[in-house]
């Protein structure tokens, strides 16, 4: 049974780690939360988009990246961010700048509302004049800066000071909804995001979960292509239902092989291990050991899953036996 019962009513739980029902507000995170966290952090650290602001913990540089990316695609922000931080490398430099120059930069780089440039300029002045050149380190303190709302404050606290709360944006909601059946409810999303985040690791965690939503769990999910690290726990992957709060109807994608991979993972989650034919009959009604969708087909599917690190295959008494890799 999961240790994450949101109702506080133990009778309402089932034995499933994934018991969930939005109606009675019962949802759970997997019991092996540490493994879930580690899988995501490993995936993120193994390969992520290398934006220059992810290589710094300078709060000013991070604030500039956050303000710029509010309205502009991340890929396009890179050049503007590099130019901006080269021209005004510190809050002191920006505070000394002429506001017209800062606004002019914003306009010439198509960075959206000019107000954001004015606020950024003003925030730099505040840091210099009101905070003696030292950024506040907490989400609350950062919100005192001009134009810095709760989301940006939390992002800067996380990425500069490793001192933020769990980010809950559209991507994070989509991931939580699909993977752990968290209902479409802001309080539930806040709870789930915060329970998922490892204590004191907001910098890597918020980057990682946003990357998961941005690269793998997109509106049209790329579970296998992106090597999603949560496939073995993900409810949507097992059921094939990839709707989400911002994806009201099933996204159109080529799904049959993915669908069966999901069924294999979902089925193996219920059993310690299964022999080839038993598994085959459980995942498709037209399974016939020697037929088109038989052992050869299933071996291919399992071998891909084994290559992806999701499944372990063994031979016992001459029979192939599959289990989830834990
Ligand atoms: S397995 Fe797919 S649906 Fe589930 S969290 Fe990963 S990318 Fe999203």
* Active site members: 66
268 lines ligand 1 (CB under 6 A): no
Please say if the pLDDT value at position 17 is more than 70: no
Using 50, 70 and 90 to split pLDDT, how confident is the model at 75? confident
Please give the pLDDT value at position 25: 55
User: Residue 261 C-alpha to ligand 1 middle, in angstroms?
Assistant: 12
Atom of ligand 1 nearest to the CA of 216: 7
Rounded Cα–Cα distance for residues 303 and 312 (Å): 9
Task: Name the least confident of 9-13, 124-128, 143-147.
Answer: 9-13
Residue 6: pLDDT band by 50, 70, 90 thresholds? very low
Ligand 1 atom 1: the closest Cα is on which residue? 231
* Average pLDDT taken over every residue of the chain: 88
* DSSP string of 149-177, one letter each residue: -HHHHHHHHHHHHS--PPP--HHHHHHHH
What pTM was estimated for this model as a whole? 0.78
Mutate to test the pocket of ligand 1, among 219, 228, 243 (most ligand atoms within 8 A of CB): 228
For residue 174, the CA-to-ligand 1 centroid distance in Å is: 9
Highest mean pLDDT range out of 75-79, 101-105, 260-264, 313-317? Answer: 101-105
Q: Determine the distance separating the centroid of ligand 1 and the alpha carbon of 228, expressed in angstroms.
A: 6
So what's the pLDDT on residue 2? 35
Q: How many helices (H) and strands (E) does the chain have?
A: 15, 3
Cα–ligand 1 centroid distance for 3 (angstroms): 22
Kindly tell me if the per-residue pLDDT of 12 is higher than 50.
no
Structure-model confidence comparison of residues 257 and 262, the more confident one: 262
Judged against a pLDDT cut of 50, whether residue 16 lies above it is answered with: no
Q: Is 213 in the pocket of ligand 1 (CB under 6 A)?
A: no
Strand ranges (E), 37-76: none
Model confidence band, residue 251 (pLDDT cutoffs 50, 70, 90): confident
Contact status, residue 272 vs residue 285, Cβ threshold 8 Å: no
166 pLDDT above the threshold of 70: yes
Q: Whose CA is nearest to atom 8 of ligand 1?
A: 217
pLDDT tens-digit readout, 98-130: 999 999 999 999 998 899 999 999 999 999 999
Phi-psi region at 309: left, alpha or beta (left = phi > 0; alpha = psi -120 to 50): left
Burial zone of 281 (CB within 10 Å; 0-12 exposed, 13-18 middle, 19+ buried)? middle
Q: Is the CB of 231 under 6 A from ligand 1?
A: yes
> pLDDT band at 18, cuts 50/70/90?
very low
Q: What is the pLDDT of residues 259-306, one digit of tens each?
A: 888 889 989 988 889 999 999 999 888 899 998 889 999 999 999 999
> Collapsing DSSP states into helix, strand and coil, what is residue 56?
coil
């Amino acid at each position: 049974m999961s240790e994450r019962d949101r109702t506080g009513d133990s009778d309402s739980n089932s034995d499933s780690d994934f018991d969930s029902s939005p109606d009675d507000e019962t949802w759970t995170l997997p019991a092996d939360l540490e493994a879930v966290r580690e899988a995501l952090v490993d995936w993120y650290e193994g390969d992520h988009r290398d934006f220059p602001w992810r290589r710094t913990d300078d709060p000013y540089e991070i604030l500039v990246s956050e303000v710029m990316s509010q309205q502009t695609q991340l890929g396009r922000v890179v050049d503007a961010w590099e130019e901006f931080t080269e021209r005004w490398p510190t809050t002191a430099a920006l505070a000394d700048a002429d506001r017209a120059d800062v606004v002019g930069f914003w306009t010439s780089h198509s960075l959206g509302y000019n107000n954001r440039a004015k606020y950024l300029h003003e925030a730099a002045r505040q840091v210099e004049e009101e905070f003696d050149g030292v950024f506040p380190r907490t989400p609350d303190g950062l919100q005192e800066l001009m134009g810095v709302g709760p989301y940006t404050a939390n992002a800067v606290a996380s990425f500069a000071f490793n001192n933020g709360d769990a980010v809950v944006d559209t991507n994070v909601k989509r991931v939580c909804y699909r993977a752990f059946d968290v209902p479409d409810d802001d309080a539930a999303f806040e709870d789930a995001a915060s329970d998922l985040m490892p204590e004191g690791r907001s910098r890597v965690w918020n980057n990682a979960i946003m990357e998961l939503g941005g690269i793998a769990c997109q509106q049209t999910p790329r579970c296998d292509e992106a090597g999603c690290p949560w496939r073995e726990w993900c409810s949507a992957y097992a059921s094939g239902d990839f709707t989400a709060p911002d994806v009201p109807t099933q996204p159109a994608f080529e799904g049959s092989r993915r669908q069966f991979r999901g069924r294999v993972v979902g089925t193996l989650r219920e059993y310690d291990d299964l022999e080839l034919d038993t598994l085959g009959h459980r995942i498709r009604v037209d399974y016939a050991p020697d037929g088109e969708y038989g052992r050869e087909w299933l071996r291919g599917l399992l071998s891909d899953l084994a290559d992806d690190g999701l499944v372990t295959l063994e031979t016992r008494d001459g029979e192939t036996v599959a289990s989830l890799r834990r």
